[in-house]
């Protein structure tokens, strides 16, 4: 069973900081970056300012986990349900994604980051989709951190699309029903080239998965913090890793 932890994150002690050079005990961390709008409201700023600060937080985290030699980081940037927000906010978010790609990609590439995107790309504005495709291609030879950004992503839609692909193969006689396995379904998901995340971090205190990596997180350890995403620091990440180290992962065993 996945486990939840809720608490206010604190900066690590000197002893914890000294352990940063140790190899990470996991390969893949997923993050639900929640709390941008609440952060802005708390600071009496426009909601859009919260998203700007959220980008800064992500940039800090990418640098940090890259230095720690994490192999995979997958972040939830825009869900398929976020279309329900105001048209002004949705438009701004996509403009912000485009600006970040343009302004930050060179640094990401210089730091050997391999960038890719998961989600229902048909719903993404064409200009942004082209930029996403170009940056993915330009960084595919990089061998450092694999950074996946989930845009217009919904796990139920992902699984539905995978089932449709498999059903078509059965209809066309290329597969039989007996050929359908968990591995086959996993190979048809957006995350087919990724290992399942060992740890999922959710900021902002909400105790739910929000339609994020439902299949992939079957035995993922879950760490929830009240800290809002713009306030999430590298030290916060380190504390989540420390908590992960204390977990007893049994995968349904005793």
Q: DSSP assignment, residue 93?
A: H
Catalytic site residue from 34, 36, 146, 152: 34
Catalytic site residue from 36, 42, 82, 254: 82
Distances in Å between the Cα of 183 and the Cα atoms of 52, 114, 162, 173, 176 are: 39, 25, 12, 19, 15
Distance CA 170, CA 39 (A): 49
CB contact at 8 A, 76 and 212 = yes
CA atoms within 13 A on the CB side of 156: 6
CA atoms within 13 A on the CB side of 47: 11
Distance CA 124, CA 126 (A): 6
Three-class DSSP category at 181? coil
Apex 67 CA angle, 63 and 69, nearest 5 = 120
First-to-last C-alpha distance (Å) of the chain: 11
Asked if 238 is an active-site residue, the reply is: no
Helices (H) and strands (E) in the chain, counts: 8, 7
Asked if 34 is an active-site residue, the reply is: yes
Distances in Å between the Cα of 250 and the Cα atoms of 150, 155, 195, 222 are: 28, 25, 18, 14
Three-class DSSP category at 92? helix
The catalytic residue positions are 34, 82
């Amino acid at each position: 069973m996945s486990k939840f932890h809720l608490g206010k994150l604190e900066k690590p002690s000197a002893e914890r900081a000294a352990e940063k050079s140790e190899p990470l005990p996991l390969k893949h961390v997923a993050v639900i970056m929640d709390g941008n709008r609440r952060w802005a409201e708390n600071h009496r700023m426009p909601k859009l300012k919260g998203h700007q600060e959220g980008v800064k937080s992500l940039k800090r985290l990418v640098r940090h986990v890259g230095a720690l030699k994490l192999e995979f980081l997958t972040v939830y940037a825009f869900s398929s349900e976020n279309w329900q927000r105001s048209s002004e906010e949705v438009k701004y978010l996509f403009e912000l994604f485009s600006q970040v790609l343009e302004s930050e990609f060179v640094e990401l590439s210089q730091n050997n980051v391999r960038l890719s995107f998961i989600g229902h790309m048909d719903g993404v504005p064409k200009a942004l989709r082209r930029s996403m495709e170009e940056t993915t291609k330009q960084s595919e030879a990089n061998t450092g951190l694999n950074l996946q950004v989930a845009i217009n992503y919904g796990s139920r839609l992902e699984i539905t699309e995978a089932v449709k692909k498999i059903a078509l193969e059965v209809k066309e006689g290329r597969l039989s029903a007996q050929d359908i396995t968990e591995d086959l379904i996993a190979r048809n998901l957006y995350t087919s080239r990724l290992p399942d995340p060992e740890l999922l971090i959710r900021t902002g205190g909400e105790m739910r998965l929000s339609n994020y990596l439902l299949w992939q997180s079957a035995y993922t350890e879950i760490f929830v913090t009240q800290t809002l995403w713009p306030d999430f620091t590298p030290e916060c990440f380190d504390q989540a890793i420390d908590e992960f180290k204390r977990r007893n992962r049994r995968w349904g065993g005793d």
